[in-house]
Structure 1
Amino acid sequence: MDIEKIYKDSGALLEGHFILSSGKHSTNYLQSAKVLEDPKRAEILAKELSRQIKKADLKIDTVCSPAIGGLLAGYELARALGVRFIFTERKDGEMTLRRGFEVKPDERVLICEDIITTGGSAMEAAREIEKRGGKVVAFAALANRGVCKREGGTGNRKDGCMLPENKPFFALADFDFPIYEPDECPMCKEGSEAVKPGSRGN
């Protein structure tokens, strides 16, 4: 499955000067909402991701996604795995489990995002699950921005990856685009103004 082609054909692989959800800058942005707006395509991608996870022989009770970006990917993955789906959302700036969702003691939870760059939002969701007694066993995303190392990937873990090294991270593909700290961004130095698309921007 050519994931990069799917993103390009969906108009979801953008080129320009972007602020990522991590705050870093990049020449490219992945807008997974454009990929997932087609339910059949979302189902196909989630089934492919579920195959990787099933091969790892992990016991998973629940998939949890941080809102809002991870909701569609997480729901479809839970459906492909045949498990429950819940989500965390921000309240007063903190990722929180709301809407009557509960986590049982030692419930085995996989955290799913649409895209993982550093894994910051995924880790916020993971901490909320573990605070409530659950056990986070793995992480997953449709796309990996190349900072963290995914199972079966060829890239290396880079500085800035927040995902734990002792838990597997599954993704369909690596998108290793240039990423810069804001004060080191060459596009900023040339006078270009960064834009922030996505769930926390427009």
Structure 2
Amino acid sequence: MDIAQVYKDANAFLEGHFLLSSGKHSAFYLQSAKVLENPKVAELLAISLAKQVRAAKVEVDCVCSPALGGILAGYELARALGVRFIFTERVEGVMTLRRGFEVKPKEKILICEDIITTGGSAMESAKVVQNLGAKIVGFAALANRGICNRFNVLRNIETPECKLDDSLPLFALEDFVFETYNPQNCPLCKQGTKAIKPGSRGN
């Protein structure tokens, strides 16, 4: 599958001036919600991602996603893998497992996001279920912003901004490496435009 084209067809490959969750600016933004609003496309993407997980022979009992952005991707991946699905959510800024969800001791959990940037939210979710006795077996996303190295890429490259546990695999359908800028050195700001924040924490 041409994942970039899938995003473009869904008007989810945005060009402009964007404020990222990291605080940096970029001329490009991926809005996965627009891709996932089509259930058939979401299903096909999840099936493709599940094939990567199976090919790597990673055993999964459950998929867990951080709310809100990861829920649709995680649910579809769990369905493709034939396992149960749970999600974590922030309560007063702290990632928490609620709504009656439980984790079994040593349950093998795959953390799934729509997009992995630094992996901060994914690691927050991982720590929540890990503290409840689960075993984290890897991370997955429809798209990877290239800050974290994927399973089939050399993992010994230093990426200090990546917060994921680099001893675990990261599965993704595509790497999107966009140039980012610190606000004080942003050429888009110097052109007089204002950065907007279209992500789940902004819009």
What TM-score results when the alignment is normalised by the length of structure 2? 0.95
Counterpart position of 2:100: 100
Q: Runs in 1 of length 4+ with deviation above 6 angstroms?
A: none
CA distance in 1, matches of 2:144, 2:190: 27
Contact kept, 8 Å, 1:109 with 1:135, in 2: the verdict is: yes
Counterpart in 2 of 1:53? 53
Q: Does 1:121 align with 2:121?
A: yes
Instruction: Name the residue aligned to 1:69.
Output: 69
Q: How much has 1:103 moved relative to structure 2?
A: 0.7
1:148–1:157 Cα contact (<8 Å) kept: no
Deviation of the 1:159 alpha carbon: 3.0
> How far has the Cα of 1:153 moved from its partner?
4.5
CA distance in structure 2 between the partners assigned to 1:190 and 1:199 by the alignment:
26
- One-letter code aligned to 2:53: I
Q: Distance in 1 between matches of 2:21 and 2:6?
A: 22
Instruction: Please tell me the residue identity of whatever aligns with 2:176.
Output: F
Task: Describe the shift of the 1:157–1:49 C-alpha distance in structure 2 as closer, same or farther (beyond 3 A).
Answer: farther
RMSD of aligned C-alpha atoms?
1.5
Q: Percent identity?
A: 64
- Please state whether the residue corresponding to 1:172 is helix, strand or coil: strand
Deviation at 1:157, TM superposition (A): 5.5
Equivalent residue, structure 1, for 2:145 = 145
- Displacement, 1:154? 7.8
Matched position secondary structure for 1:51? helix
Question: Is 1:23 the counterpart of 2:32 in the alignment?
Answer: no
Larger CA deviation: 178-187 vs 75-84? 178-187
Q: CA deviation at 1:36?
A: 0.5
Unmatched runs of 5 consecutive residues or more in structure 2: none
Q: Secondary structure at the match of 1:151?
A: coil
Which residue is equivalent to 2:132? 132
Aligned to 2:186: 185
Distance 1:109 1:159 in 2: 25
Counterpart-to-counterpart distance in 1, 2:91 and 2:184:
29
Instruction: Give yes or no for the alignment of 1:88 onto 2:83.
Output: no
Determine if the alignment matches structure 1 residue 159 to structure 2 residue 172. no
SS of the aligned residue for 1:69 comes to coil
Question: Which amino acid in the other structure matches residue 169 of structure 1?
Answer: L
> How far apart in 2 are the matches of 1:121 and 1:182?
22
Residues 74 and 112 in structure 1, CA contact (< 8 A), matched pair in contact too: yes
Measure, in 1, the Cα distance between the counterparts of 2:172 and 2:87: 19
Counterpart contact for 1:147–1:157, Cα < 8 Å: no
Instruction: Say if 1:22 and 1:120, in contact at 8 Å, map to a contact too.
Output: no
Compute the TM-score of the two structures, normalised by the length of structure 1.
0.95
Partner of 2:173: 172
CA deviation after TM superposition for structure 1 residue 24, in Å: 2.2
SS in 2 for 1:48: helix
Provide the rounded CA distance (Å) in 2 between the counterparts of 1:52 and 1:11.
Answer: 26
